[in-house]
Structure 1
Amino acid sequence: MKAAILKTLNAPLSIEQMPDPSAGTGEVIVDVVAAPVLSYAKEVFSGERRYPIELPIVPGCGAIGRVRTIGPDATHLQTGDWVFCDPTVRSRDDALMPDIVLQGWSARGEGGNQLQRYFHDGPFAEQIRVPTENAVPIGAIDPADAARWCALNTLLVPYGGLLASDLRAGEILLVSGATGNFGSACVAVALAMGARCVVAPGRNAQALEDLARRFGERVRTVLLSGDEATDRERMQRAAPGPIDCVMDLMPPSVPATTVRAAVMAVRPYGRVVLMGGVGMLGGAGLELPYPWIMRNDITLRGKWMYPTQAVTLMTGLIRGGLLQLGHFDVTTFALDDANEAVAYAAANGGPFRMTVICPAR
């Protein structure tokens, strides 16, 4: 099969032939139809983002494809089924504390590194081998729509946080980082789940205007000033009632004070979910006052990625017409043009924008 291979950091992907993968027990081979190119892929491949990957590797993170071969223990999948190749691979020998990797993308810890050495290569190729449970059926689709279904890759991350938050229909959500790639997706998903209103703060006035245009009065935008107390008051005033839940999706470059302004806008007995990156690049972490958390009975939790059932549930939101993939603008590239795709994604990232590699193109 043909694949794009990262052999060394800070070097172009090499487009060449490599052996087809083969499926064993608990594995599925999928013909890749569309694979998203993350906007920061260039930073990973250059080594600027110090991701713990072992080279050479066929990179990528998630894909839409059709089942080519199933292992002997598969009982529902059939050859030709359309599936989402979930990149979140979990070890199977510890249900309580599984090691988790993003196939073709990153790993953490020795257990994660060991898992990644086996489920190593990602979807920048004509075929990919994935664990059976990671080939999740999405139902029949028009092949021309496969690239747009790659939006699952973005939508699922905030969906995992929203499931963890126990967001209920009719509640008010605040999305910290609403003008970013994952934050804007979080707004769309929360509305699809029945949120009464989503408070969307941010510094990018144009992106805030776009959110208001797309989703109407159920989104209340707040232009941030940079002053913690002022911004918190503005967010609370923008909401039509007490804020039930706060979802933080801020990137590592954002000051902790910006995150705290949003987190502490939540009502007493409210919930906060942290999925962002504050402190990951050094600098101050997120300081929250112990008395405020305790006396106001605040539920605070972290969340990374999403549970295994999330793909099926999100597919239901899309099939039911509650979540529109049409929000996403998609630019596609052939596998031979993978390096151009990586450069394009870096220069054209942002809310509701996707770059996709289509190996069969």
Structure 2
Amino acid sequence: MTGGRTIKAALYEGVNPSAPLLKVIDLPAPVANNGDAVVKILATRVVSYAKEVLDGTRPYPNLLPMVPGPGGVGIIQSVAPGAIHIKPGQMVFIDPTVRSRDHPVSPEAMLQGLVAFGSGQELQKVWNNGSWAEEMLVPLENLTVIPESIQAKFNPAELTSISNYAVPLGGLYPNLRPGQTVVITGSTGMFGSSAVAVALALGARRVIASGRNKKQLDEFVRLYGPRVVPVVVTGDVAQDTQAFLKAAGEGFDIDVTFDILPPQATFGAVQSSILALRNGGTAVLMGGLNSSAEIPYPAIMNKGLTIKGHFMYDRSGPTTIIGLADAGLLDLHHRQEPKFFKLSEINDAVEWSAAHPGAFDATLVLP
């Protein structure tokens, strides 16, 4: 029941080459039920691969129609019974990673407003719509209250970057210790560049940022100083492995490698970084590669390597990012001027984001 109230939202009905990807229409306003809240959206991001999802290039499974938009920042409008800490009027960060509540060990998950695999679509039946709207319904456990001290330092558009940093934090935080050396493969993308910043904030001795865009890699050195060492990968596994080892510095080993390459990339750089790991080193895979992972069996066994996959981050991730920002260890300000769009311009925003996928590019919608 909505009481007749409506909101503006960007509706996605599926791939249709002869029509705009999204239609901005009136939808019934969401109503908080048990265990969720209605959030008025202040700012939300458009990821660079959103167009690929919407035009079918990346065939993400979803229940349609739906309102896209993973995560964002907003103000609590109303809260269902059962909430203790979440109250109307609070500014919150919205975590799109919705997990099932009825399995404590292996919960199903979906990314609200982006994708729902398999049984995760049971969750999508309840929380189907994302943040490309004036309001959205969000599970209580996916809301993180933003302290007023942080609100004084960063505006809502800047605070949407919490998600950019929380993703690599999920894979780095349990595996990277202060004083260690880490390789980031895919470092010139949005999440990869965030991984560089997070690794530094967590106390990495040296971050070896790898990619093919030398200009972008050199920008990391300008921003962060000599703790970042760029490596331009060639695709030659042996050559790139030696380049990583050299970048670690004389007398130091590579402790961790962290991958967050996109689907179209090849596994070569990841393979090189894994082969460069020290005995007992750890490889964390968080990217979207579609290719098979070929690692020589003896290299894994003889060196005692750990290779693990990781999906997103746990519930404390956004709080950790906020804490790092409050301590001055992580800067949430825009690295370059973002591009802002109104909700009515959502199709233009999707096109712009696809054309500007750089490490520090940011496309934002302000409903």
For the superposition of Structure 1 and Structure 2, which TM-score range results when normalised by the shorter chain? over 0.9
Aligned counterpart, 1:238: 247
Aligned counterpart, 1:150: 160
Among residues 273, 292, 315, which one is paired with 1:285 in the alignment? 292
How far did residue 21 of structure 1 move?
Answer: 0.3
**1:107 and 2:116 are equivalent in the alignment:** yes
- Indicate conservation of the 8 Å contact 2:71/2:130, yes or no: yes
Query: Aligned with 1:118: secondary structure?
Result: coil
Give the distance between the partners of 2:86 and 2:153, measured in 1 at CA.
19
- Indicate conservation of the 8 Å contact 1:151/1:354, yes or no: no
Residue by residue over 1:270-295, the C-alpha shift from the partner in whole angstroms, topping out at 9 and shown as x without a partner, is 111011122x2xxx411112221122
Aligned counterpart, 1:301: 308
Give the distance between the partners of 1:192 and 1:213, measured in 2 at CA.
16
Identical pairs, percent: 41
Give the distance between the partners of 1:116 and 1:288, measured in 2 at CA.
36
How far did residue 142 of structure 1 move?
Answer: 5.2
Residue by residue over 1:158-217, the C-alpha shift from the partner in whole angstroms, topping out at 9 and shown as x without a partner, is 11110232x111111111111222111100011011111101121111111111111110
How far did residue 8 of structure 1 move?
Answer: 2.9
Cα RMSD after superposing both structures: 1.4
Gaps of 5+ in 2: 1-6
* Farther-moved stretch of structure 1 (100-109 vs 286-295): 286-295
Query: Aligned with 1:52: secondary structure?
Result: coil
Give the distance between the partners of 1:41 and 1:147, measured in 2 at CA.
18
Give the distance between the partners of 2:32 and 2:8, measured in 1 at CA.
18
* Farther-moved stretch of structure 1 (302-311 vs 137-146): 137-146
How far did residue 257 of structure 1 move?
Answer: 2.2
Among residues 61, 64, 67, which one is paired with 2:76 in the alignment? 67
Gaps of 5+ in 1: none
Query: Which amino acid is 2:138 matched to?
Result: V
How far did residue 227 of structure 1 move?
Answer: 1.2
Residue by residue over 1:86-125, the C-alpha shift from the partner in whole angstroms, topping out at 9 and shown as x without a partner, is 000000000111110001110111x211111111000011
Aligned counterpart, 2:26: 17
Residue by residue over 1:220-255, the C-alpha shift from the partner in whole angstroms, topping out at 9 and shown as x without a partner, is 111222211011101111112101110011222222
Give the distance between the partners of 1:115 and 1:327, measured in 2 at CA.
33
Query: Which amino acid is 1:336 matched to?
Result: S
Give the distance between the partners of 2:283 and 2:154, measured in 1 at CA.
39
Among residues 4, 21, 36, which one is paired with 2:10 in the alignment? 4
5 Å-filtered alignment, 1:62-211, equals 62-109=71-118, 111-140=119-148, 141=151, 145-165=155-175, 167-211=176-220
Give the distance between the partners of 1:269 and 1:323, measured in 2 at CA.
29
- Indicate conservation of the 8 Å contact 1:81/1:139, yes or no: no
Give the distance between the partners of 1:127 and 1:142, measured in 2 at CA.
24
- Indicate conservation of the 8 Å contact 1:4/1:125, yes or no: yes
* Farther-moved stretch of structure 1 (56-65 vs 7-16): 7-16
How far did residue 143 of structure 1 move?
Answer: 10
How far did residue 144 of structure 1 move?
Answer: 7.7
**Which runs of at least 4 in structure 1 moved beyond 4 Å after TM superposition?**
none
Structure 1 residues 138 and 158 mapped into 2: Cα distance closer, same or farther (>3 Å)? same
**1:212 and 2:221 are equivalent in the alignment:** yes
How far did residue 9 of structure 1 move?
Answer: 1.7
Structure 1 residues 94 and 155 mapped into 2: Cα distance closer, same or farther (>3 Å)? same
Give the distance between the partners of 2:180 and 2:285, measured in 1 at CA.
18
- Indicate conservation of the 8 Å contact 2:45/2:364, yes or no: yes
Give the distance between the partners of 1:86 and 1:219, measured in 2 at CA.
29
- Indicate conservation of the 8 Å contact 2:154/2:332, yes or no: no
- Indicate conservation of the 8 Å contact 1:151/1:328, yes or no: no
Give the distance between the partners of 2:299 and 2:356, measured in 1 at CA.
41
Residue by residue over 1:112-167, the C-alpha shift from the partner in whole angstroms, topping out at 9 and shown as x without a partner, is 111111110000111110100111112121598111111112111111110232x1
Among residues 229, 236, 246, which one is paired with 1:227 in the alignment? 236
Query: Which amino acid is 2:199 matched to?
Result: A
Give the distance between the partners of 2:264 and 2:222, measured in 1 at CA.
27
- Indicate conservation of the 8 Å contact 1:250/1:277, yes or no: yes
What TM-score results when the alignment is normalised by the length of structure 1? 0.95
- Indicate conservation of the 8 Å contact 1:164/1:273, yes or no: no
Query: Which amino acid is 1:308 matched to?
Result: R
5 Å-filtered alignment, 1:267-286, equals 267-278=278-289, 280=290, 284-286=291-293
Give the distance between the partners of 2:226 and 2:189, measured in 1 at CA.
20
- Indicate conservation of the 8 Å contact 2:169/2:195, yes or no: yes
Aligned counterpart, 1:250: 261
What TM-score results when the alignment is normalised by the length of structure 2? 0.93
